[in-house]
Chain A
Amino acid sequence: MGALFLVKHQGKAGSCLHNKHFPRYCILLFVMMVFISCEFQPSSIPEASVEEPSATAPEIEIEITPDIDTLKLYDATTITYGFYASPRQVHWVQFLWDGEELETREYGVGIPAQITFDPDPYSEGLHLFEIRVFTSTNSGSIGDAVGAEGYLYQLQWPAVIDRTPLRKLNILSVEPVEGGAIVKWEKFPHPAFSFYRLEKLGYFDGRNLELALIDDQDVTEFFDTDYLEGDNVVYNVFLNGTSGYSYEISEPPGQIEATWLNTYAASVSWTPTLNPGRLDYYRVFLNDKIALKEVQQVPYQEDQPPFVYDSLGFGSGVTFNIQFVPKTSSTNFSYGVLGVASAKIATGEKIPEHELAKKIPGTSKSLLNDGNKLVLFDHETRTSLDFIDSDPLRLRAFRITPDGQIVYTLVGNEFEAWEIYGFNSIGKINLNEIDCRLSSLYDISVSSNGRILFVTAGEYLLLYDFQAEETLYKSEDEVGWGAISPDGENILARYTGDSTEFRYYSLVGGQLNLIGKKVYPVKLWPNTFFFSAPEHNQLITCLNNELQVRDAGDFSLINEIQLPYNGFITYDPESHRLLYAAETGARSTKCCLISLPRGEITDTVFLSARNILLHNRFLVGRNGRQLNLDELK
């Protein structure tokens, strides 16, 4: 059956395939197959059902440093960033400058999340820095998986290129406050800023401290807990290491106040420190302009009791000083650099300060010369009664007559007499008209009867009668010094030569009659001869520690008193008392008032100066104080 089937078909097939060109066709087909070979054709890909993501982008958290609204650029600046979109993935981040792409980079673990931008190629001024962040959608699509689909976030950052160079900064203020001080300095609001470094140099112990390193340009003050009032320190603020203008502060440490308690005592109080933690102790001391005295270290107490000083002396003020001494571990420090607060105090009732005072005998008044005028001052009432304007440059001297009625002034070479009460001029004469040698005048003494004894620098005496306007006596040379008695009838003169001789004369008819004399081994100087008031009629000489009281009539010795040492201070002719220094103390000088001629000690006072005037019961000091001796008792 099979063979028959084939034979039948053989005939039919033979007719259609019987072609002598078949080999050619085969070869042609063969060649075509080679060149038109059809490679494997893969099947088409079916589409999967995936839900499209929301068109609204979810929130993303962005962290960028520096965290500022406007990016300020000076030189290459590093910007660090972090984007948190979990569970979505951040694919890449792109940076643009004024719309032009700077860089696009991947974002993820292991990739540095920072970019350094160098503004050097760009102009100064406002620009736009833009950051674009591309995240996945987590839709599960192919596009999402390969990063072709996602959410794009744009952060536009105004950027200012500011090439303001670094400069030296000023410290603006150092304000002491409780617990330290607030230091303020200039702000440097430019991108060149990197940091402020505040340093302090303390002169007290040479400490150099770095107080603060601040990387926020808006922070321009610092609370220095190390500061103590009065400390001498120099602050300096560095900008990126560039030193600024140093600011030295050395202020007095607060206020100090001295209060007069009684004759010789005062209390001293001061503003306590604002920073007790830094205080080692208060250093209180007296300063008499020459040396430090009475240095005391007073520890801090919350309720600081006043410091009491009970050794005030009369005659000059005392200055109390205080320093706040900071704690230090150094042994090499200097108090001298610390600020000092001072307060002056003087004992006695206040009167006008003056350069020279001369008492008006028989009264409680004086004439005070304050450099500008002569003031008639009543010590009893402590009031100024009258005054004469005097030329401070030309007033050479003034003398009051022993009866207290007239005052003579020497202005230039004009010698003028005034009634003390009313200051009416009663006469005037130019010394050159008397004698040309009086132009080099050394001393003048006057008597109640109008006689004037001039002593020249050339050791020459001239006695002049102001009322009669005539010269009564001219000495020979080498009369060193002299004084006329209150009644104008006697002259005490010093002669110099091989020895110093002390001669006492009576004046009779223009001639000097020697009453007595005494030889001293050394020269005698003014303030060593004194006439008592007429009622006592005595003459006092004081040489070194030897005090002699003589009769002003016959020059006989009444009493001789030995002083402890050459401690003469002042003599009051009216009360006939003499004040001398008995003991020199550390704080003040103990002085004794003795009544003459017997030399009994009547009072004891403490003085801090020697230029004191004893006027009856008042001690008058040039420092503008008077002390009533009666109130000492």
Chain B
Amino acid sequence: MDLTVKKIIFIIIFFVSAAGLFAQEAEVKKTYKIGLTLGAAYMPQSELRDINRQVEGDLPFAVKTINNFPPYFCYGGYILSQVSPRFAIGPGYWFYTTGSRLGARDYSGSYSFDQILTAHSFALNAEWLLPTTTYPVVYLETIAGANLGNWKMEETLETGGETQNDVEELEAVKLFFYPGLKFTWPLNREFGLGFKLGYSFDLAGKFHLAGNAEAKSDTKAGFSGPRLKLVLEYGK
């Protein structure tokens, strides 16, 4: 394991063990919470990689894979209402994106084939305060909702000063379920800082051509994958 990763894990364990003592008392008194998240999401996209391989094979010239659906940043936020001392629920929104690029460039021009996936994720966020005695305060978190997904394929050929551009967009509403854990540390009485770990599962929904809901694609392009986010939370 890499040294940097070891350090990160150590720091996380340290904060969890050191801050857990006072967690319970402070959190149960809040009536609502507002949180902002910023993190990274990884969505493997095996079938979209197949598309890239097929495009690469069909092209009459050699291309390189410049990007291949790497983990990419995501952000979002939520509002939770404290329904019971240990249970809070509320709406949330997150934005996810990733993509790939095949490309080539020489004196005569350039070529690129991009696939970009984006999702506006609207969901109901619920959390259960787990019984801990020290910080961090730990929550069992579940999020369920819908990803308003967009899958854009853009092919661009530029030769001799002329550019040919071909864009195809597909859309989907994909239901998902996310289980995870949230770890927070209070910064003062209202603000807390933490991180969330979880995995999002796509449950249903297919992509279709934008503007034509009947033209559905069987390609499995989705948003399943692990999530790691930093959380800044305000509660009162």
Mark A residues whose CB is within 8 Å of B.
1-3, 5-6, 9-11, 13-15, 17-18, 22-23, 26-27, 29-30, 33-34, 37-40, 42-50, 52, 139-146, 148-149
Given contacts A2-B17, A2-B18, contact A22 B97 (CB under 8 A): no
Given contacts A39-B118, A45-B105, A47-B105, contact A142 B110 (CB under 8 A): yes
Residues of B contacting A11 with CB < 8 Å? Answer: 188
Contact of B120 among A5, A23, A37, A142 (CB under 8 A): A37
- The chain A residue with its CB closest to the CB of B95 is A37
Contact of B97 among A13, A38, A148 (CB under 8 A): A38
By Cβ-Cβ distance, the 4 closest A-B pairs, closest first, are: A2-B18, A14-B188, A143-B108, A45-B103
Given contacts A6-B19, A33-B75, A33-B95, contact A145 B36 (CB under 8 A): no
- The chain B residue with its CB closest to the CB of A47 is B105
Alpha-carbon separation in the docked complex, A254 to B217 (Å) = 93
B60 sits at the interface (CB 8 A):
yes
Residues of A contacting B105 with CB < 8 Å? Answer: 45-48, 142
Residues of A contacting B134 with CB < 8 Å? Answer: 3
| B188 lies within 8 A of A18 (CB) | yes
Alpha-carbon separation in the docked complex, A438 to B202 (Å) = 152
Residues of B contacting A144 with CB < 8 Å? Answer: 108
Scan B17-31; emit 1 where CB is below 8 A from any A CB, else 0.
111011000000000
Residues of A contacting B103 with CB < 8 Å? Answer: 42, 45
Shortest beta-carbon distance from A142 to chain B in Å: 5
Given contacts A10-B188, A33-B76, contact A145 B60 (CB under 8 A): yes
| B106 lies within 8 A of A48 (CB) | yes
B46 sits at the interface (CB 8 A):
no
Residues of B contacting A10 with CB < 8 Å? Answer: 186-188
Alpha-carbon separation in the docked complex, A42 to B118 (Å) = 13
B229 sits at the interface (CB 8 A):
no
Alpha-carbon separation in the docked complex, A614 to B195 (Å) = 162
The 27 sampled A-B contact pairs (Cβ below 8 Å) are A2-B18, A3-B135, A9-B187, A10-B186, A11-B188, A13-B187, A26-B234, A29-B36, A30-B93, A33-B95, A34-B93, A37-B95, A38-B97, A39-B97, A40-B117, A43-B101, A44-B66, A45-B101, A48-B62, A50-B108, A141-B61, A141-B107, A143-B160, A144-B108, A146-B60, A148-B109, A149-B160
Shortest beta-carbon distance from A37 to chain B in Å: 4
Shortest beta-carbon distance from B42 to chain A in Å: 12
Shortest beta-carbon distance from B9 to chain A in Å: 15
B112 sits at the interface (CB 8 A):
yes
| B61 lies within 8 A of A3 (CB) | no
B53 sits at the interface (CB 8 A):
no
Residues of A contacting B66 with CB < 8 Å? Answer: 42-45
Given contacts A29-B36, A42-B101, contact A142 B159 (CB under 8 A): yes
Alpha-carbon separation in the docked complex, A43 to B72 (Å) = 13
| A142 lies within 8 A of B101 (CB) | no
| A148 lies within 8 A of B108 (CB) | yes
Given contacts A3-B19, A47-B105, contact A17 B160 (CB under 8 A): no
Residues of A contacting B117 with CB < 8 Å? Answer: 40
| B77 lies within 8 A of A142 (CB) | no
Alpha-carbon separation in the docked complex, A329 to B196 (Å) = 111
Residues of B contacting A29 with CB < 8 Å? Answer: 36, 77
Alpha-carbon separation in the docked complex, A9 to B17 (Å) = 17
| A37 lies within 8 A of B118 (CB) | yes
Residues of B contacting A149 with CB < 8 Å? Answer: 108, 159-160
Alpha-carbon separation in the docked complex, A256 to B136 (Å) = 140
Residues of B contacting A6 with CB < 8 Å? Answer: 15, 18-19, 135, 185-186
Residues of B contacting A13 with CB < 8 Å? Answer: 187-188, 191
Shortest beta-carbon distance from B102 to chain A in Å: 9
- The chain A residue with its CB closest to the CB of B11 is A2
Residues of A contacting B72 with CB < 8 Å? Answer: 40
B84 sits at the interface (CB 8 A):
no
Within 8 A of A (CB), among B126-164: 134-135, 157, 159-160, 162
Residues of B contacting A45 with CB < 8 Å? Answer: 64, 66, 101, 103-105, 110, 112
Residues of B contacting A2 with CB < 8 Å? Answer: 14-15, 17-19, 135
Which of B17, B61, B72, B99 has the most C-beta atoms of chain A within 10 angstroms of its own C-beta?
A: B61
B216 sits at the interface (CB 8 A):
no
| A143 lies within 8 A of B159 (CB) | yes
| B34 lies within 8 A of A26 (CB) | yes
| A148 lies within 8 A of B160 (CB) | yes
B190 sits at the interface (CB 8 A):
yes
| A26 lies within 8 A of B106 (CB) | no
Apart from A47-B106, A143-B160: 16 A-B pairs, beta carbons within 8 A: A3-B19, A11-B188, A14-B191, A27-B34, A29-B77, A30-B77, A40-B116, A40-B117, A42-B116, A45-B64, A45-B112, A46-B105, A48-B106, A50-B108, A141-B106, A142-B105
Residues of A contacting B75 with CB < 8 Å? Answer: 33
Shortest beta-carbon distance from A26 to chain B in Å: 5
| B188 lies within 8 A of A22 (CB) | no
| B61 lies within 8 A of A145 (CB) | yes
| B99 lies within 8 A of A33 (CB) | no
- The chain A residue with its CB closest to the CB of B122 is A34
Shortest beta-carbon distance from A146 to chain B in Å: 6
- The chain A residue with its CB closest to the CB of B117 is A40
Within 8 A of A (CB), among B151-184: 157, 159-160, 162
B67 sits at the interface (CB 8 A):
yes
Scan B191-224; emit 1 where CB is below 8 A from any A CB, else 0.
1000000000000000000000000000000000
Alpha-carbon separation in the docked complex, A49 to B99 (Å) = 27
Shortest beta-carbon distance from A587 to chain B in Å: 98
Residues of B contacting A43 with CB < 8 Å? Answer: 66-67, 101
